Structure 1
């Protein structure tokens, strides 16, 4: 998933279909962008941030894996 924060925020509002309609777009327009087949334009990112009420930077942040876990000398995971 390319934009987990964006997908989460859309789901809080309802369906992808409903959200796309709010933007005046089709569900396929949104789906192509969510899957990465088409990039979101900067103006689209800004509009989506305004509509959802979250900063576009957060909505479109790339997911980062958590830091690696390691075992201590006692065999306990830290």
Structure 2
């Protein structure tokens, strides 16, 4: 969003896309709740955000969070 525009419209080399899918599970629906937990772990202040190549995951030119795929609509269709 705004930060990328301020940086001249650069695009990240990688994107984080959440897929909260758990409807195939016959009992436990845990995977559907994973994307926000993964984001919390990645953006936590105590996380080591440096990669082996010396890139910083906190830099929006390296990693951009693009949100979640709206899976809820699929469940409503009986899939």
Using the size of structure 1 for normalisation, the TM-score is: 0.28
Rg larger for? 1
- Decide which structure has greater strand share: 2
Higher relative contact order (CA 8 A, sep 6+): 2
- Decide which structure has greater helix share: 1
